[in-house]
Amino acid sequence: MKPENLKTLVCAAQAGDVDAFGDLYAALRQDLFRFAYYQLSSPHRAEDAVSDCVLRAFQNITKLKKAQSVRSWFCSILLNCCREQQREKAIAAKQVDLDECCSLLATERDYASHAALHAALRQLPDDDRELLLLSVLFGYDSKELADLLNSKSGTIRSRLSRIKATLRAMLSEGDEPQ
Tens of pLDDT, residues 152-162: 989 999 999 99
**CB burial class (10 A; 0-12, 13-18, 19+) of residue 46?**
buried
How many domains does one find in the chain? 2
Rounded distance, CA 147 to CA 4, Å?
22
Show which of 63, 94, 113 is a domain's final residue: 113
Last residue of a domain, one of 57, 80, 113: 113
pLDDT of residue 176: 47
AA identity, residue 127: D
Q: Are both 72 and 140 inside the same structural domain?
A: no
Q: How far is CA 144 from CA 60, 148, 153, in A?
A: 22, 6, 8
Residue 7 contacts by C-beta under 8 Å, 6 or more apart in sequence? Answer: 67, 68, 70
Same domain? For 80 and 19 the reply is yes
The answer to whether residues 123 and 161 belong to one domain is: yes
Write out the residue range of the structural domain in which residue 146 sits: 114-178
pLDDT tens digits for 73-118?
999 999 999 999 888 765 443 344 444 444 444 444 454 346 777 7
pLDDT digits (tens, 9 = 90+) for 117-151: 778 888 899 889 888 888 888 888 888 888 888 89
DSSP 125: -
Question: Does the model's pTM come out above 0.85?
Answer: no
Identify the three-state secondary structure at position 92: helix
Domain CATH for 163: 1.10.10.10
Q: Which of 113, 140, 163 is the last residue of a domain?
A: 113
